[in-house]
A and B are shown apart, each in its own frame.
Chain A
Amino acid sequence: MAFMKRSPWILHYDASSCNGCDIEVLACLTPLYDVERFGIINTGNPKHADVLLITGGINAQNREVVENIYEQIPEPKVVIAVGACAATGGIFRECYNIIGGIDKVIPVDVYIPGCAARPEQIIDGVVAALSILEEKRAKMNGAAQETEQAGEST
Chain B
Amino acid sequence: MSERIIVPFGPQHPVLPEPIHIDLVLEDETVVEAIPSIGYIHRGLEQLVQKREYTEYVYVAERICGICSFIHALCYSQGIEHIMEVEVPDRARYLRTIWSECSRLHSHLLWLGLFADSMGFENLFMRSWQLRESVLDVFEDTTGGRIIQGTCKIGGVRRDIEQEKLDEMHRTLDPFEEKCRDLGDVFLNDETVKYRLQGLGVISKDEAYALGAAGPTARASGVAMDHRETGYAAYGDLGFKPVVETAGDCYARCAVRVKEVYASIDLIRKAIEGMPDGAIDVKVKGTPNGEFFSRAEQPRGEVVHYLKANGTKHLARARIRTPTLANIPPLVKMLPGAQLADVPVVVLSIDPCISCTER
Contact = CB atoms under 8 A, between A and B. Distances in A.
Q: Tell whether any CB of A sits under 8 Å from a CB of B in the complex.
A: yes
A19 B110 CA distance: 12
A59 B130 contact: no
A16 to B, nearest CB: 4
Interface string B8-34: 000111100111000000000000000
A96 B44 contact: yes
A95 interface: yes
A90 to B, nearest CB: 8
A19 B18 contact: yes
Given A95-B47, A116-B146, A17 B66 contact: yes
B42 interface: yes
Nearest to A43: B14
Interface in A19-63: 19-24, 26-27, 30-32, 43-45, 56-57, 59, 61-62
B41 A62 contact: yes
Contacts of B13: 44
B40 interface: yes
A138 interface: no
A6 B80 CA distance: 54
A12 to B, nearest CB: 8
Interface in B101-153: 110, 113, 125-127, 129-130, 133, 136, 145-148
A92 B43 contact: yes
Interface stretch (B57-65, B90-98, B159-167, B189-197): B57-65
Given A26-B17, A116-B66, A91 B59 contact: yes
Contacts, number: 118
Given A19-B18, A56-B41, A115 B11 contact: no
A22 B40 CA distance: 15
A103 B130 CA distance: 34
Contacts of A115: 63, 148
B148 A20 contact: yes
B325 interface: no
A13 B45 CA distance: 21
Given A56-B41, A59-B41, A62-B19, A18 B64 contact: yes
B126 A92 contact: no
B39 interface: yes
A65 interface: yes
Contact of A23 (B40, B41, B67): B67
Contact of A14 (B19, B42, B45, B63): B19
Given A24-B147, A31-B129, A97-B44, A91 B63 contact: yes
A29 to B, nearest CB: 8
Contacts of B354: 19
B353 interface: yes
A130 interface: no
A30 B129 contact: yes
Contacts of B60: 91
B355 A61 contact: no
Contact of A19 (B14, B125, B355): B355
A22 B126 contact: no
Given A14-B17, A97-B43, 9 more contacts: A16-B40, A22-B66, A26-B17, A27-B133, A30-B125, A57-B43, A65-B11, A94-B51, A95-B44
The 5 closest A-B pairs by CB, nearest first: A20-B66, A44-B14, A30-B129, A19-B66, A16-B41
Interface of A: 13-24, 26-27, 30-32, 43-45, 56-57, 59, 61-62, 65, 69, 91-92, 94-98, 115-116, 118
